[in-house]
Amino acid sequence: AWQALSRGAPPDVVEGIALYGYRKKIPGETIAAWASGYKNLTDAKVPPEVAADLVRNAMENDWDIRTFDLFKQNMYAAARNRFDMKAYATYLFGHYLEGKKMPGAMAADAMVYFKKCAARKTEPVLPPYQGVFSPKPVQEIVYEAKPREEVPEPVPSAVEPPPAQPQPEPVTPVVEPRPEPQPVRPAVTPRPVEPPKPVKPAAVPKPAPQPTPQSLGIAMGTLWPGLYTAAQSYLGTPYVWGGTTHKGIDCSGFTQNSYGENKVRIPRVSRDQWKTGDPIGWKDLRKGDLVFFNTMGVGVSHVGLVVDASGPRFYHASSSKGVTESDL
């Protein structure tokens, strides 16, 4: 874990992987390879959820470092080719898990196939596969909780008043000599030009107010029964870093799914979940609230769901026990 941190891997990622490795007694070199590989891929603009799926597969399927590194390099090359990384990972992992090809042959096959699709401008045919990034059929979202943001400074209007026109200088009448016997005509004095009227900048429309749970009629009293049922359905699910299903799930995946199955969308990772909603004190906890933990001294790295405010007791995806109930 220290090797990965020293190379710049995100602390919360390292902790999740390291705790999983500790539970299964995975060598430190493997933990460092997973965490560093995640950082390498995200630095190469591979979506974090796709990079996490590579790590999850290595964890669940006991891939050795050689297989992990081979797929990492292959995905890195796919990102350089600007392939759709979710489609690429679906093809790569979906076919490899069928057990018909060795890692090297599978990686080469995926690269050749996607290059052909790119040249022909056709969509790749993908196998059935459920990854961290795979869309899951969910109920219609009624409310989406977004991270708190500072109030932005007022933005000046995009319509600027036109620059002031220079005032015309007075024109001195000039009498031109005319041949005799024609009389000299007096020059006409020009009319003064009125300066342009200032144009008021167009008013910037105010953004529509964001809906709140109260405005949508969402109250914990009505939300709680379904939320509790959803959370209970994950009890006993093994902890898998990056996991989002009943086969394996991590702490923020558990809280996100529990709310998502009740038409409320919250962010995917714990540090972003912490930024949503309203901060409350210990004495104000109630069932359905989220509690956050700073387990590494570098910020939020774990989250749980309060199920009994009198304890208080909460459900969470423990790295050692899976989804379980604990007492604060």
Cα separation of 3 and 21, whole Å?
14
Q: Is 246 a catalytic residue?
A: no
List all residues 6 or more positions away from 325 whose beta carbon is below 8 Å from its beta carbon: 235, 307, 313, 314, 315
Catalytic residue among 95, 117, 246, 316: 316
Catalytic residue among 95, 117, 246, 302: 302
Q: Is 302 a catalytic residue?
A: yes
Q: Is 316 a catalytic residue?
A: yes
Catalytic residue among 95, 117, 246, 251: 251
Q: How many CA atoms lie less than 13 Å away from 290 in the CB half-sphere? A: 29
Hey, which residues are catalytic here?
A: 251, 302, 316
